Structure 1
Amino acid sequence: MSFRRIAEIVVIAATTTASPAFCQDADVSSNEPIRTISAVVESDAKAAISGINTFSLDLYRRTLTADENHFLSPASVSVAIGLAYRGARGTTAGELEKTFHFTKPPWDYLRANGQVLDTMTFSGPRRELRTANAVWLQDEMPLLPEYEKDVTAFAQAGLQRVNFRGGANAARIQINSWVAESTRGKIKDLLLPDDITKRTRAILVNAIYWKGAWAGAFDKKQTKTEPFTQLSGDQVSTPLMRQQSRFRLIERGGFKAISLPYVGHEVEMVVFLPNSAKGLPKFEEELTAADLANWLTDLANAERRETILTIPKMHVELRQDLKNSLISMGAPTAFSDDADFSGMATIPYPGEVPEAVGLKIARVIHKTYLDVDEVGAEAAAATAVGNIVVSSARREPPPPPFIFRADKPFFFLLRDLRTGLILFMGRYVKTQAERPLGD
């Protein structure tokens, strides 16, 4: 089929969650309660969130590498692909709908998902969640009016014109700069020189950024370098943070789960810890979306218990092209010469090579950044004091604290408590330390 020429779309999802080097905000008293920023979603948005969460677990499993840390934002990937899905038709649209668990046909999905995107940007004292979308287009390529209207109105995507054919590297630098700015400088040099070619006609980008202080800060003086058991069974010295406070947690089937809220209680980190250092892979393999939803519901309804919590400081950076993973998950047509994105633009158009017949997705670049440490806000300490229960001498002594010691491989996620949307998902199975115990 040498007479056919398919122009290329590149899809980008860049996400970061960073440790917050926050100081006490000048406009917030340390004794003033920090109020939760509310979010309300209707039925279509709730269905979209359920679909994104189901896709999250599918993509997580498909992209795992044995014995390695993992961290990704399937929500970001879903939003970015959703921009392309709006223009998909036929088999291309059907495969994307099934693989990504999109809940509406292409011409309705951005409208349904727009409310979800609205909840993904907020800021308050010592925390910030933001998402941003953008579409970069070849200078003279016109978008169909319906497509342009929807990505602008519902995805709030800014449209930028560049010259991929005559200045691919200049376009790459401009896009990388936008991504770096959208992630507060954490995701740099996302696109490599080979990611953009003269055949590139559109780049669809989503960026998600989260920065928040713990609702209950860790005392840096309590952080100790101690053994962390890796999946191999080897032990490596790593900094383990420690605090004693009251947390929601549950335990069943050889696993413990704990909720670690951030300031404002809009977002939480949930850690799933096996009793055995080698128990994580089986849990990951067997966990279904329904199982995960049940875990999170039960955790939300659990009573807070006095707990001694130990968890490592974490830093993970990953970059991957998800193309092959998404093909194997059931969406090959979007990446082939048979792709149909005719709902996005009509090709050829004036100025395009006459043999061009359409668009296909060439790459899905996903880069993530995770940084977790002890940092918390001063207001959180006041909240922790409020959790102390004073007992009279006649009452029974309280039960001993629950021990939650994450010194072995674990699965974790960050989710929006207001909507249930899973923002990030990962595993921590090896530390950054290079010094095994005994060396």
Structure 2
Amino acid sequence: LESVDFKGNAEEARVHINSWVEKQTQDKIKDLLSQDAVGSLTKLVLVNAIYFKGSWNTQFKEEKTADVQFRLNKVTVQKVINKNNVSGQILEMPYKGNDLSMLIFLDTVSTQLEKELTYQNFVDWTRPDMMSPNEVDVKLPRFKMEEKYDLEKILTNMGMENAFDIYKRDFSGMSPANDLIVSKVVHKAFVDVNEEGTEAAAATGVDMEVRSITIPAEFVADHPFIFFIRHKPTKSILFVGRYCSPE
């Protein structure tokens, strides 16, 4: 908790907050708060920063990097989805130290893995008894992503609506006058994946066909996929994203 003077100099406070975020994320997250994000009426800003840089346990050979075609999924509409008919591949690639890993969920053509992906299914599909260590020939695009989100609506939908309500908020533990209210929550994330590993700031293979598991000899991520960076001892998901196009 740090006191800043929004009323007297909101711009100086904004620059100070942005500088702190840049330092915490090794200069990967810049300008978290835009000039219109805070003002003289701002009372409280919640800021969180996380930075991660991990090297693959088994690194990709840079000399084998090449340009290949990336296919975009065609959108189809189905009135009925058979929830048992889930087909796709899940790859887990550990980082050095083995406490952290990247999980990639790859739909096969015309399947519904992404739509069936709930937290419970994520837990079930990535259980140790469902994942089997095996040598896999992995083809994965290098990618760099940076996104920014306003989390007020998301947090409200998750049940945190009182923090944004002037009549219901209760920050009396932070201010005896209880005059604080959260006006904005901004989230910005950065992820860079290459041959050496992953840099991020905001191989076990399994082939899924109902309950019949076979290990693929090849994992080719040449169409949209979802990725997670997970802390294995606590099963905490640190980062999640969807890569859908190289453009």
TM class, shorter-length: 0.7 to 0.9
Which of 267, 286, 290 is residue 100 of structure 2 equivalent to?
267
Kindly report which structure 2 residues correspond to 1:251-400, keeping only aligned pairs within 5 A, or say none: 253-276=86-109, 279=111, 282-298=112-128, 302-338=131-167, 339-347=169-177, 358-375=179-196
Secondary structure of the residue aligned to 1:325 is helix
Task: Say how many residue pairs are matched.
Answer: 222
2:54 equivalent in structure 1: 212
Taking the aligned partners of 2:188 and 2:127, their CA distance within structure 1 comes to 30
One-letter code aligned to 1:262: Y
Which of 200, 205, 210 is residue 42 of structure 2 equivalent to?
200
Which of 123, 136, 153 is residue 2 of structure 2 equivalent to?
136
Secondary structure of the residue aligned to 2:27 is coil
Which of 6, 20, 24 is residue 182 of structure 1 equivalent to?
24
Query: Alpha-carbon deviation of 1:359?
Result: 2.0
1:405 equivalent in structure 2: 220
Kindly report which structure 2 residues correspond to 1:29-178, keeping only aligned pairs within 5 A, or say none: 135-137=1-3, 162-178=4-20
Taking the aligned partners of 1:418 and 1:163, their CA distance within structure 2 comes to 41
Query: Alpha-carbon deviation of 1:215?
Result: 0.6
Taking the aligned partners of 2:114 and 2:132, their CA distance within structure 1 comes to 26
CA contact (8 A) 1:231 1:430 kept: no
CA contact (8 A) 1:136 1:202 kept: no
Which structure has the highest helix share of the two? 1
Taking the aligned partners of 1:342 and 1:192, their CA distance within structure 2 comes to 28
Taking the aligned partners of 1:184 and 1:228, their CA distance within structure 2 comes to 31
What's the % identity of the aligned pairs?
37
Structure 1 stretches of 4+ with a deviation exceeding 4 A read none
1:428 equivalent in structure 2: 243
1:7 equivalent in structure 2: none
2:233 equivalent in structure 1: 418
Tell me which moved more, 285-294 or 408-417.
285-294
Taking the aligned partners of 2:195 and 2:184, their CA distance within structure 1 comes to 37
Secondary structure of the residue aligned to 1:306 is coil
Are the structure 2 counterparts of residues 368 and 289 from structure 1 closer, same or farther at C-alpha, using a change threshold of 3 Å?
A: same
Task: Report Cα offsets for 1:211-233 as digits up to 9, x if no partner.
Answer: 01111111111111111112347
CA contact (8 A) 1:136 1:203 kept: no
One-letter code aligned to 1:370: V
Q: CA-atom RMSD, angstroms?
A: 2.3
Query: Alpha-carbon deviation of 1:401?
Result: 6.5
Task: Report Cα offsets for 1:79-120 as digits up to 9, x if no partner.
Answer: xxxxxxxxxxxxxxxxxxxxxxxxxxxxxxxxxxxxxxxxxx
Query: Alpha-carbon deviation of 1:136?
Result: 2.9
CA contact (8 A) 1:413 1:422 kept: yes
One-letter code aligned to 1:170: E
CA contact (8 A) 1:136 1:204 kept: no
Secondary structure of the residue aligned to 1:407 is coil
TM-score by length of 1: 0.48
Query: Alpha-carbon deviation of 1:325?
Result: 2.1
Greater C-alpha radius of gyration: 1
Task: Report Cα offsets for 1:287-326 as digits up to 9, x if no partner.
Answer: 2222111122146x63322211111111110011111222
Secondary structure of the residue aligned to 1:186 is coil
